[in-house]
Amino acid sequence: MISRKKTVKVMQLCGVALLSVGLVACGNNGHSSNDNGSKSSVQEQSKTRQVTDAMGHKLEVPTHPKRVLASYLEDYLVALDVKPVAQWSVSNGIQDYLQYKLKGVPTISYDLPFESVEKFKPDLIIMDSADMVSGGKYDKYNKIAPTYVVGKEKNNDWRKELLAVGKVVNKEDKAKQVLADYDKKAKAAKAKLAKDGKSPSVAAVWLVGGKFFIVSKNLSSGDVLYNDLGLKVPKVVEEISAKATSNWNPISLEKLTELDADYIFLINSDKKDSSMLQQPLWKNIPAVKHHHVTELPASSSWLYTGTIANKQIIDDVLKAIDK
């Protein structure tokens, strides 16, 4: 099951020009200077720099990586103007909401087979969590290219992930600006959605394979709805989130009838066969009866997380509620 995990420019391939080896050798303590006394840092002159990942690995990574592979972290790469050499895919599915920038980028299976990774010849591999490199896989990936692990958990804080990715691709300032822009957008939307000081209650529901799932209040789109936008958490969401182990958690149609949400955002992956939406129990849910259901396609950003995904979620919420 998908857990998580956003106008950008194409990655700029021309970074700061490297000084020649001769000039570096003649510099004073790794720096070069001119008559004005200006100096260039060792990092600017070097083709590599050292970073330490979440697992304590000390790595020599390219100062300006050009062939980055970061499966399921593409939202952050796109936000940072970095075009990956391959993009995440599962069962022939991809992150549709990012295709305005990733169209034409080859796909790679979500489990990152070693042979496939080698074929793409990355100069930097970024892994979302320690789980992805468990069982001795880290050493195998690291032999292909320097491998940086962003976090230790499966569900890492997306803000920290953005900053970590920004650090390893040498775009820390860009990452901070992207995050500041997002927070500004979320703050403005939160103010718009609060009517007379009160925010409406909402819930995100996912229909897939004839079954319903509801988002956890602190993960994926739930984090955007309840934490960033300050919308009210329904009791059913509170109850399920208290025992949740995933971003999206199963909920029966019978339990959904208890959903006391003013608005429902329905991600419908069963578009061709949505018989569950014709059931009397579904039609009896208060938000459904009041026609306060916004149906979204499986290609939307609501099943993912990151700056770009979350901005699109905010836009969808404003369109549905702020009328």
Contacts of 266 (CB under 8 A, 6+ apart): 205, 206, 207, 293, 294, 295, 296
Looking at the predicted structure, is the pLDDT value of residue 253 above 90? yes
Structural domains of the chain, ranges and CATH numbers in brackets: 21-32+40-170 (3.40.50.1980), 192-321 (3.40.50.1980)
Q: Report percent pLDDT > 70 for the chain.
A: 85
pLDDT tens, 63-83? 999 999 999 999 999 999 999
Lowest mean pLDDT across 74-78, 89-93, 123-127, 212-216: 89-93
Looking at the predicted structure, is the pLDDT value of residue 125 above 90? yes
Lowest mean pLDDT across 28-42, 122-136, 254-268: 28-42
For the chain, the average pLDDT equals: 87
Looking at the predicted structure, is the pLDDT value of residue 314 above 60? yes
Looking at the predicted structure, is the pLDDT value of residue 284 above 90? yes
Q: What is the mean pLDDT of residues 272-289?
A: 93
Whether 185 and 313 have beta carbons less than 8 Å apart is answered as no
Query: What span, in angstroms and rounded, lies between the C-alpha atoms of 63 and 207?
Result: 44
Whether 236 and 203 have beta carbons less than 8 Å apart is answered as yes
Confidence at residue 10, expressed as pLDDT on a 0 to 100 scale: 30
pLDDT tens, 184-199? 999 999 999 997 778 9
Confidence at residue 44, expressed as pLDDT on a 0 to 100 scale: 52
Pseudo-torsion of CA 186, 308, 151, 231, nearest 10°?
30
Query: What span, in angstroms and rounded, lies between the C-alpha atoms of 12 and 14?
Result: 6
Query: What span, in angstroms and rounded, lies between the C-alpha atoms of 59 and 211?
Result: 44
Region label for 245, one of left (φ > 0), alpha (ψ between -120 and 50) or beta (otherwise): alpha
Query: What span, in angstroms and rounded, lies between the C-alpha atoms of 107 and 102?
Result: 10
pLDDT tens, 201-213? 999 999 999 999 9
